[in-house]
Amino acid sequence: MAGATDKELALAKVYSKSMLDLAESQGQADELLDELHELADMIDKNAALGAFLSSPTVDVTARAQTLEKAFRGKASDLLVDSLQVLNRKERLGLLRAVCDTYRLAHEESRNIVDVHITTAVPLSDTLRGKIREAAAKFAGMGVELVERVDESVIGGLTMRIGDEKLDTTVAMQLRQISEAMQQRASQEVHGGKAYVEFG
Amino acid sequence: MKFKVDEISSVITEEIKQYRSKVDVAEVGQVLEVGDGIARIYGLGNAMAGERLEFSNGQFGQVFNLEQDSVGAVIMGDYLGIKEGDEVRRTGELLSVPCGDAMVGRVVDPLGRPLDGKGVIETPHRRPLEFKAPGIAERQPVTEPLQTGLKAVDSMIPIGRGQRELIIGDRKTGKTAIAIDTIINQQGGDVICIYVAIGQKESTVASVVGKLQEAGAMDYTIVISASAANPAPLQFIAPYSGAAMAEYFMYTRGGATLCVYDDLSKQAHAYRQLCLLLRRPPGREAYPGDVFYLHSRLLERSVKMRDEYAVVPKDTPKDSLDRTVAFKHPKGFEAPKEHRPDDVQGLYHRPDGKKHAETWLDSLPDKDKYRVHRFPDSGGSMTALPIIETLEGEVSAYIPTNVISITDGQIYLEPDLFFAGVRPAVNVGISVSRVGGNAQRKAMKKIAGSLRLDLASFRELEAFSQLGTDLDTATQHQLDRGQRMVELLKQPQYTPYNVNDQILSIYAGAQGFLDDLPVNQVLEFEAALLKHFGDEFPEIGEELDDTGAMSDDLADKIKKVITDFKSHYSPGEKS
C-alpha cells in the first residue's frame, strides 16, 4: 500500500466503497476490478496520462470532455461515471489508491485475503499451487497471490498475509548469521581476544 | 598488521555449525511517510501504545499515535536511512534500558548504548523506561539529608533523600555547577549518581564528564547524554532512561540514588517538536496538552521507599530478601497497637514499625530464637535535581511554573548575583525547600534556622541603604553582618564542604565573630579557622558526627576555640 499516505488511503476508501456497492448491485464487481487494474497499469506505464489526470493546472471541464471522448463506449459506464465524479471532485490523482482499496474491499467481501509472495525466481505452476494451498490453510480463507520477483532474496520465499510475515529466504538466514557473528566477535574483542596481530 | 585468519575462520565455522534455520515470523507494516524523526506506518494492526518497533535499517522506533488506518511512531536515531515502503517490525516489548553495576562509570546514550569508547556494556538487567511511581503505602517521609557540599544550599535550602529540588535560573547562572558539585560531594558515600544531559552541546557534556573524572566522581556516576545533535525522540526519553537506571539500584538493593536532569526545558522542547510533527493539538506556548504529565510522571518516580522490618528466626541470613521467612504475629491486625504489623505478610514498615517489631520481640517468651531483620532492598531513595532554564528570569512561563508546582522546592539562581560575584548565585529570598528541613542535621538546623530570613531582610536593607541616608547603629550592624554572611556563603566551584566545616563556619558568621573583619578577608579567615579546627580539635568534628546536634557545651567550646584563634589571627597567615 506504499505510495499513498494514510489520508489519501482514507479518501480513496470512501470512493472505492461506493464504487463497489454500485458494482455489486449491478453484478459488475469483477469487471470493474479488471478495468480499474488495466487503467492503473496504463497510468503506471504512461506518465503523461498520469500527469494529465492528476494535474490541477488542467481545467476540470476540459478534462471531463477528454475523459468522455476517450473512455465512453470503450469502458463500462460505471467506470466512466466514476472517473467523472473523481474528476469533478479533483481526486483523479487518487486513482491508484482507489484501485488498491477497491481490490482489497472486493476481496474482503468475497472472504479472500491478499498473500504477497516474494521469490528470487518466478514461481512454477506446481509451486504456485502448493503455496496457494499452504497459504489458504494458514489464513483460514481464500487467498489471492500477489507475486513479486526479487533477486536479492537469493533463495526461499517470504509470504506476507495481512500484517503477518513469514520469511524463509537465504538472505534472511545470512543476515541472522552475520548478526550472530558480529555480536559474538564484539563480545570476544571486548573480552580481550585479538583477531589481528600488530607489528 | 596481520589478520589471524585461522581464528576468524574458526569463529565463522562455529557460527555456521550452530546455526539452525528457522522460519522468521514477524508482524510487519510499511512506512507510508517519514520525516523529521517521525514515521507514519501502514499496517501493524496489533501494535501497542509505546511499543518498540524495529525499522529495516536497524533503527528503533516507538509507537506514539494509534490511528484508524495508521500508526504514528517516533524514530530513535537516524531517520534519513528510512524510506517510504520500508518494512517495520513489531517487537512486542516496551522500550527498556540496560542497568546494573556495569553501567556505573560509563557515558551512554538514552538507550544505554555506550558513547565513551570503553566497549560493550554486558549486563543481564534491563528495566522499562516508563515505570509507575510507587504509591503512598510504599513511601516513607524524607528524613535523611543529601548533602550538596554547598554552604548556601545545605544551610538554607536543605535537600533530603527522595526529594525533588528544582534548580532554576537563566542561562550561565551556575545551574549545572550546583548539580555537579552535589555529585562530587557524594564521594565516599553510598549514593549512585546519574547525570542526564538533554539537548546540550557535546563539548559541554565532555567537559562535565572530564570534571567528574578529575574529581573521581565517575566511580559512582552514570552519565546519559542526548546532545543537541541527537534526534528529538532520544532527548525526550533521556530523563526516563536515567530514572530507570536509578530505579534498579533503588528497588533491587535499597540504594540511595541522585538523578540530575539537565535540563527539562530542553526535554519539553523535544517533546513539543514530536507532538507537533505527529499533529497532536498544540496548547499554551504550542506545548501539547499532556506536557504537565510529561514532567509529573518523571518526577513522581523520585521517592524515599519505606524501610521494611520483620521478626525472623535468628539464623536468617543478614542479606535475606525473602519476605516469607517473617514470623507473623499470631493475632495479625488484631494485635495490640504497640506490636501490630503493618501488612498481611507480617512486616513492619518505617522507623515506627521497627519499634513495634522490637517491642513485640521483647514480649516473646522464646525471644532468643528470633531477631528483627531489616530487608536490605527496602528503604531506597531517588533524589531528583531537575534543572529548568528560564528566559530573562521569567519564572511564570509555562514549563517553569509546571515544574515549580511539581517539585518540593526550588533553588533560584540570579544573573545579577552571579555577576556581583556571589557564587553560587542563590537568591535565598525565593528559594525554598519544602521537605528538606526535616532532613537537616540538628546542629545545622539550630545555627542556620534564622539565616534565610536574616539574609532576605539584609537584601532589603541593602537596597534601602543605597539611597545614601544616614543609618542608625543597629541597622549598620545588621548590614555589616549581612555583608559578611553573604561573603561567607560564597564558594568556588568543585570545592564541596564537609557538613561539619559548614556548621563551624556558619556558626562563626552567625555568632558575629566575623563582624570586625574586613569583608574581603572573610573567606581567608574561614579557611584558616577550619584548618585550625581540623588540625587541633578533631574531636569537635567527631562529636558533631556522632550526635548530629549542637549541645550547649559544644557550642561554648566552639566559641572558645574561635575566640582564641581570632586573637592570634593576622591576615595573610596561612594556619
The model's pLDDT over B133-167, given as tens digits with 9 standing for 90+, comes to 999 999 999 999 999 999 999 999 999 999 999 99
> How much is the average pLDDT of A10-30?
90
Residues of B with catalytic annotation?
Answer: 434
Torsion of CA B560, B561, B567, B570, to 10 degrees: -160
Domain boundary among A63, A88, A108: A108
Q: Render pLDDT for B84-126 as a digit per residue (tens, 0 to 9).
A: 989 999 999 999 999 999 999 999 999 999 999 888 898 999 9
CA distance B461 to B477: 11
pLDDT of residue B454: 84
Mutation to test the A interface, candidates B38, B42, B83, most A Cβ within 10 Å: B42
Q: Do A184 and B11 touch (CB under 8 A)?
A: yes
For residues A102 and A150, state if they share a domain: no
CA distance B542 to B504: 13
Q: Do B19 and A194 touch (CB under 8 A)?
A: no
pLDDT of residue B575: 46
pLDDT classification of B29: cutoffs 50, 70, 90: very high
Task: Return the DSSP state at B144.
Answer: S
pLDDT classification of B14: cutoffs 50, 70, 90: confident
Question: Does residue A127 sit within a domain?
Answer: yes
Task: Return the DSSP state at B325.
Answer: G
Provide the 10 A C-beta neighbour count for residue B157: 23
CA distance B174 to B157: 16
CA distance B234 to B267: 9
Please name every residue paired with B385 in a beta bridge, in sequence order, or none if there are none: B260
For residues A73 and A115, state if they share a domain: no
Question: Does residue A95 sit within a domain?
Answer: yes
Residue type, B87: E
Task: Return the DSSP state at B124.
Answer: S
pLDDT of residue A1: 52
Question: Does residue A87 sit within a domain?
Answer: yes
The ipTM (two decimal places) reads: 0.70
Phi, psi of A86 (to 5 degrees): -60, -40
Q: Do A196 and B11 touch (CB under 8 A)?
A: no
Best CA proximity match to B190, nearest among B256, B244, B245? B256
Q: Do B4 and A196 touch (CB under 8 A)?
A: yes
From first CA to last CA, the distance across chain A in angstroms is 56
Best CA proximity match to B573, nearest among B512, B510, B521, B498? B521
CA distance B282 to B268: 13
Task: Return the DSSP state at B343.
Answer: S
CA distance B234 to B199: 9
Q: What percent of chain B has pLDDT over 90?
A: 79
For residues A154 and A129, state if they share a domain: yes
C-alpha cell at B556: 561554648
CA distance A170 to A157: 8
A29-45 and A95-109 are packed helices; what angle lies between their axes, rounded to 10 degrees?
150
Q: How far is B526 from chain A (nearest CA, A)?
A: 50
pLDDT of residue B491: 94
C-alpha cell at A28: 459488475
pLDDT of residue A2 exceeding 60, the answer is: no
CA distance B232 to B273: 7
Q: What percent of chain B has pLDDT over 70?
A: 99
C-alpha cell at B532: 585550625
Whether residue B417 contacts residue B426, with contact meaning beta carbons closer than 8 Å, is answered with yes
| Total number of residues shown for chain A | 199
Q: Are strands B221-226 and B191-198 parallel, antiparallel or unpaired?
A: parallel
The answer, for B87 touching chain A at a CB cutoff of 8 Å, is yes
Question: Does residue A66 sit within a domain?
Answer: yes
Mean pLDDT of chain A: 87
If you compute the radius of gyration of chain A from its CA atoms, what whole number of angstroms results? 24
User: What region does B343 belong to: left with phi over 0, alpha with psi -120 to 50, or beta?
Assistant: beta
Alpha helices in B201-263 (DSSP H): 202-214, 232-253
Whether residue A195 contacts residue B7, with contact meaning beta carbons closer than 8 Å, is answered with yes
Provide the 10 A C-beta neighbour count for residue B400: 20
pLDDT of residue B41 exceeding 60, the answer is: yes
For A41, the domain range is 6-108
CA distance B252 to B562: 47
Q: Render pLDDT for A56-99 as a digit per residue (tens, 0 to 9).
A: 888 999 999 999 998 898 889 999 999 999 999 988 888 888 99
Question: Does residue A1 sit within a domain?
Answer: no
Q: Are strands B107-108 and B221-226 parallel, antiparallel or unpaired?
A: parallel
pLDDT of residue B310: 94
**Dihedral sign (CA A72, A73, A74, A79):** positive
Q: How far is B6 from chain A (nearest CA, A)?
A: 9
Q: Render pLDDT for B382-399 as a digit per residue (tens, 0 to 9).
A: 999 999 999 999 999 999
For residues A198 and A160, state if they share a domain: no
For residues A22 and A103, state if they share a domain: yes
Best CA proximity match to B452, nearest among B167, B152, B143, B182? B152
C-alpha cell at B46: 496489533
Count of domains in chain A?
3
C-alpha cell at B272: 513539543
Q: Render pLDDT for B307-345 as a digit per residue (tens, 0 to 9).
A: 999 999 999 999 999 999 999 999 999 999 998 999 999
pLDDT of residue B573 exceeding 60, the answer is: no
For residues A38 and A67, state if they share a domain: yes
Residue type, B414: E
For residues A74 and A51, state if they share a domain: yes
CATH number for the domain spanning A43: value is 1.10.520.20
The answer, for A162 touching chain B at a CB cutoff of 8 Å, is yes
For residues A143 and A83, state if they share a domain: no
Alpha helices in B174-231 (DSSP H): 175-185, 202-214
CA distance B455 to A14: 71
For residues A85 and A133, state if they share a domain: no
Among A5, A188, A190, select the one facing B40 at the smallest CB separation. Answer: A5
For residues A87 and A152, state if they share a domain: no
For residues A178 and A104, state if they share a domain: no
Q: Do A2 and B85 touch (CB under 8 A)?
A: yes
Which helix (H) or strand (E) segment is A9 a member of? helix A6-25
Provide the 10 A C-beta neighbour count for residue B110: 26
CA distance A160 to A114: 8
For residues A21 and A75, state if they share a domain: yes
Q: How far is A116 from chain B (nearest CA, A)?
A: 12
